[in-house]
Amino acid sequence: MKNTVFKGVATAIITPMFEDGTIDYESFGRLIDWQIEQGVNAIVSVGTTGEGSTLDDAEHKEAMKFTVDKVAGRVPVIAGTGSNDTAYAIQLTEYACEIGADAMLLVTPYYNKATQEGLYQSFKAIAEHSTKPCILYNVPGRTGCNLLPATVLRLAQDVPNIVAVKEACGNLSQVAELCALCGDIIDVYSGNDDQILPVLSLGGSGVISVLSDIMPAETVEMCEAFWRGDMKKAQDLQLGLLPLINALFSEVNPIPVKAACAAMGYGANALRLPLTPMNKDKEKVLFDLMREQNLI
């Protein structure tokens, strides 16, 4: 029996900032409220899209707590507590549990390039310190290591509160293997907005989305159309939004979505180094597509 955290769309929410790089909590709160009003099923706080890797410890914890308090139980809050330092990930996870986050998002350790055994031992250690469900996050393009389906199966079988995977490997053959091996015991979420429908068709439970930062209702409708059997609607949304999705990933995430959210009035177009504002030519393409969708 699956221990499902959410079904549908979880927004990997940006962390709005002022021009000086400090967190803009007023914009953050408005964005959270709008996301919930638009029907998203969960919020992921201070993950990759939320620039968790460049927030210091106090800011990371403050942003997680702000999200939990602002959401106030309306949807599940998934806290980004992964790190390439397992001990620090345990510390963040314990804090997120204390403040009432509903689940943890644990990215594969970046830079270290752990073996499959290292990934197993690290995730097992973190999850054993969590009183809440844990979602593994595989994104080899950013981390330098690939969490293989056999390792996920081993973790799912051995660690009861590891309940899901955000799969952003981009390889649908690997996603299919993952779903075949353990899709009946854990939830599989697409980590790529251009593959929402393909992952759903393999038995996926939804998406942890960047697109939904700016088009939450449409992202939710894509999933719901699939589940009610309206394949034409689901396909039209997936394929019709592909140019916008591609523009949102035309530079490394969250550079484009930060620009998009700023244009919609959620904070400044400010990022922390080593991330820099979007190339102006690519920004123009993004903004033109956003105008077509009446977003700005």
161 within 8 A of 130, measured Cβ to Cβ: yes
190 within 8 A of 199, measured Cβ to Cβ: yes
Omega prior to 274 cis, within 30 of 0 = yes
Four-residue CA torsion sign, 204, 210, 211, 215: positive
Active site residue 70: no
- Residue 194, C-beta contacts closer than 8 angstroms, at least 6 positions apart: 238, 242, 245, 246, 249
Active site residue 166: yes
Tell me whether strands 77-80 and 8-12 are parallel, antiparallel or unpaired. unpaired
Q: Which of 120, 137, 189, 266 is catalytic?
A: 137
Q: What share of the chain is helix, strand, coil (3-state, %, to 5)?
A: 50, 15, 35
Q: Which of 132, 166, 189, 266 is catalytic?
A: 166
Q: What distance in Å separates the CA atoms of residue 165 and residue 191, rounded to the nearest whole number?
A: 9
What does the DSSP assignment read for 21-40?
A: S-B-HHHHHHHHHHHHHTT-
Cross-strand pairs, 9: 207
Look up residue 206 and give its amino acid: G
Degrees, nearest 5: CA angle 194-196-199: 120
Q: What distance in Å separates the CA atoms of residue 278 and residue 267, rounded to the nearest whole number?
A: 15
255 within 8 A of 276, measured Cβ to Cβ: yes
Which residues are known to be catalytic?
137, 166
